Structure 1
């Protein structure tokens, strides 16, 4: 501020004079604003830190080396080169793109549970049977603890295995009182994992920068609470970057409401991903696209005339309509 005032005075921007009678002076105010990229150079880098493990990326190799040397002077780090393994994630890079999987982590689960020699199956769960709290007989304390530990490890595996997300979510709601039926279903997931150990995510080197989301719900899918299950998948171009399977917080009296709630969840996810990708300097030319197979939910999102049909839907769900307009 002082430098600005001195510059104005040195350039004789004004001349001090007496205020005329019956006149009021116009006040002034200093407004501060952060000026991003004031030097215009366009270098970007990002640092991911987990305890004592660090992943560093950016668009300028020289800048990355400079930061690496600075970190080494301060913390004495060890540079392991290109990212290949991080917190159980295996990263392989080719000209076609990047492959992300947890093969070693999955193998460790199979060895620890004694399922390494089990017979593989083609699906993670039996879609003809729905589990509930009283399916089967209660497990003893030691088996129940093993079940809870296994579900926790499987939840971490879903970071690269969206194909088991629904099955794992279904079994995770029984950790308080697991039964033999739940344990048998968990074993089936392990048998499925054995049939697809190397499965994971592929991020192509060439891709379009548009967010696309697919939303769905299993109306009253929970047999114990009759709550619906939300499911969605978000793609950046052809790359799957976000997915979820989760039981809704309240009971929906219609399939339209359940589908609309699922749409609300994915809209919030799209909004968050938009902010995140903007921080990574990803610019969007086209708006995000949301796909849903329920026509009633689509009409509610697009047309506020459906007043009588939407009075029972909470205000926070109408974020779908707000973003669509």
Structure 2
């Protein structure tokens, strides 16, 4: 059984309904709780159940965000970023009042709980909270127009999915034009369900694309190890190594080479980490083409057609789509 507690809101999850009732009875004797029945709404998350699976979205939260910002009747767009635009802290006119920008980005960050498709765009916007410009605000407005296109889109967890982990790891070398730091992107699936993803600027500068890819690989490996511990706590034994798909042959070669060279000395700790998990059979590295790299939209901008091609493979679902 698992209990998720946030202040005075509690979610109880178990495969045994009698055990759930027993826990609720004990809690009621001590705290006088109010039973709201099967979870349908929790902290802005809307949960819909079906025999085929569970869908989680934040449609009400998204519509309130659009209404508060005046974009409820805006013209929708079909990608959260513009392919030709790269944001910089030195371009554009500084905003006289940055409260609106900060409020938008803060709400977008919470919306990424069920919207991995805006993960990269929100990561980009969050870097300019101290001194945003009108260009940054325009980029934030484009994300809002993208949300307007499908406010009910969210995660879907199918019931027929297996419990085998698989991961996709990628990076964009020197993506930040201000610091020349690379961007790490990964997404991890449990069967066909997307359960973990990240889009984050790397803390140090990478001297080569191989180094940037390897740092992303190390971050993905750490997340996989944490998920292993989480599944164990939930009583789930993961059989076999986790397939980690990477589109960099050089990064895979570094991981599989037992000898350290001068070129890999500066990332030796990452090498030890990945190789240890590789040798212990926790992960196995597989090469994949860039066209099939599902972590790619977490590292860079795409045109609407290319972006939709990647996002459609993440297992997202819009219950409110009439189609």
TM class by shorter chain equals 0.7 to 0.9
Offset of residue 127 of structure 1 = 1.3
**Displacement of 1:314:** 4.0
CA contact (8 A) 1:232 1:243 kept: yes
Instruction: Please say if residues 214 and 234 of structure 1, whose CA atoms lie closer than 8 Å, have aligned partners that are also in contact.
Output: yes
Q: How does 1:94-113 map to 2 (within 5 A)?
A: 94-113=50-69
**Alignment match, 1:9:** none
Moved over 2 A (4+): none
Instruction: Report matched runs for 1:124-203 at 5 Å.
Output: 124-141=80-97, 144-203=98-157
Q: Which residue of 1 aligns with 2:285?
A: none
Does residue 89 of the first structure (1) align with residue 45 of the second (2)? yes
Is the contact between residue 255 and residue 271 of structure 2 (CA under 8 Å) also seen in structure 1? Answer: no
Query: What is the CA distance between 1:156 and its match in structure 2?
Result: 0.4
> Counterpart in 1 of 2:28?
72
Alignment match, 1:6: none
Match of 1:249 in 2: 203
Instruction: Give matches, 1:220-231, under 5 Å.
Output: 220-231=174-185
Post-superposition offset of 1:222: 0.3
Q: Deviations over 1:13-58 (max 9, x none)?
A: xxxxxxxxxxxxxxxxxxxxxxxxxxxxxxxx11110000000011
Q: Distance in 2 between matches of 1:215 and 1:318?
A: 18
Q: Distance in 2 between matches of 1:307 and 1:165?
A: 35
Match in the other structure for 2:317: none
Deviations 1:49-80, CA, capped at 9 Å, x for gaps: 00000000112111111110110111010000
Task: Normalising by structure 1, report the TM-score.
Answer: 0.84
What is the match of residue 294 of structure 2?
Answer: none
Q: Shift of the alpha carbon at 1:304?
A: 2.1
Separation of aligned partners in 1, 2:198 and 2:271? 18
Partner SS for 1:214:
strand
Select 1:270's aligned residue among 205, 215, 224.
224
In structure 2, the residue corresponding to 1:173 is in which secondary structure? helix
Greater shift, 314-323 or 78-87, is seen at 314-323
8 A Cα contact 2:3 2:10, kept in partner = yes
1:136 match: secondary structure: coil
Question: Is 1:62 matched up with 2:18?
Answer: yes
How big is each residue's C-alpha offset from its partner over 1:249-280, in whole Å with a ceiling of 9 and x where there is no partner?
00000000000000000100000001001111
Q: Is the 8 A contact 1:139 1:178 kept in 2?
A: yes
Q: Which whole-Å deviations, capped at 9, do the CAs of 1:145-174 have from their partners, x for residues lacking one?
A: 110111011000000000000000001001
CA RMSD of aligned residues (A): 0.9
- Distance in 2 (CA, whole Å) between partners of 1:77 and 1:101 is 26
Separation in structure 2 between the aligned mates of residue 113 and residue 239 of structure 1, nearest angstrom: 32
What is the deviation of 1:281? 1.0
**CA distance in 1 between partners of 2:262 and 2:239 (Å):** 37
Given the alignment of the two structures, is residue 49 of structure 1 paired with residue 5 of structure 2, yes or no? yes
| RCO higher in structure (CA 8 A, sep ≥6) | 2
Aligned length: 279
- Aligned to 1:153, the other structure's residue is in SS state helix
1:114 aligns with 2:48: no
